[in-house]
Amino acid sequence: MNQPYPSSLLESAVNEFAKLPGIGRKTALRFVLHLLRQDDSHVESFTNAILTLKKEIKYCSSCHNISDSEICNICSDLSRDPSVVCVVENIKDVMAIENTSQYKGQYHVLGGIISPIDGIGPSDVEISSLIDRVKTKNVKEVVLALNATMEGDTTNFYIYRKLEPLHTKVSIIARGVSIGNEIEYTDEVTLGRSILNRTPFDESYKL
């Protein structure tokens, strides 16, 4: 539907909202008209929250999780075991695993996974910082918790090869996660079980 916008200001706001993932122009218009009906203070707190986040957000220097400070809440939590490091793709995966309350170690957020088809190689994700961390921080176990996809598996094997010379225990969350599914959308019981039942990783491993 070719929308004849009555205002160019309206149109440019709709265009901006329509850039959000999964949002078309009709839904974008609904959002914009919703904001137009709100008080100025409401709209300002909306845009301020976004701008402040974008300007002041930090990434934990240890695990690369999103954080308000130099070291994130999880890495600075003394009740957690720093010798176990769970490798995840992104912060949504951290949140999903935290939500199960089954894991008391730390994380390492790769910020992506190896995907040759998308031009993402090992140097584009936080793998070398993971290896450094294992070398220097007395990490006893690395738990691989990437999506059960081709790319996840490629990344698992790459990390495994890099860690092999260090003789660190490498485990992988149990494939209670259905093949082809993503961590973020797995129900918490299955996900929690898959962390408890992590199994040793070696060359015989297949999806």
d(CA 205, CA 144): 13
Query: In the bound complex, what is the minimum distance in angstroms from residue 180's beta carbon to its own copies?
Result: 16
List beta partners, residue 200: 171
Using the contact rule CB under 8 A, the part of the chain among 65-73, 124-132, 138-146, 199-207 near its own copies is 65-73
Strands 169-172 and 105-109, how do they pair? unpaired
d(CA 14, CA 18): 6
Helix (H) or strand (E) holding 144: strand 141-144
CB 183 within 8 A of CB 145: yes
Which residue's CB is nearer to its own copies, number 19 or number 206? 19
d(CA 75, CA 108): 10
d(CA 105, CA 172): 14
- Let me know how long the chain is: 207
Regarding 32 and contact with its own copies (CB under 8 A), the answer is: yes
Regarding 57 and contact with its own copies (CB under 8 A), the answer is: yes
Using the contact rule CB under 8 A, the part of the chain among 13-21, 80-88, 142-150, 172-180 near its own copies is 13-21
**Which residues inside 82-101 make contact with its own copies, applying CB under 8 A?**
90-92, 94-95, 98-99
Regarding 19 and contact with its own copies (CB under 8 A), the answer is: yes
Among residues 24, 51, 140, 196, the one that binds its own copies under rule CB under 8 A: 51
**Which residues inside 95-134 make contact with its own copies, applying CB under 8 A?**
95, 98-99
Indicate the DSSP class of residue 10.
H
Give the number of residues in contact with its own copies, rule: CB under 8 A: 59
Regarding 12 and contact with its own copies (CB under 8 A), the answer is: yes
Q: What is the CA radius of gyration of the chain?
A: 21
d(CA 162, CA 103): 24
Which residue's CB is nearer to its own copies, number 35 or number 174? 35
Regarding 44 and contact with its own copies (CB under 8 A), the answer is: yes
List interacting residues with its own copies (CB under 8 A): 1-10, 12-13, 15-17, 19-22, 27, 29-36, 40, 42-47, 49-57, 65-68, 72-74, 90-92, 94-95, 98-99, 188
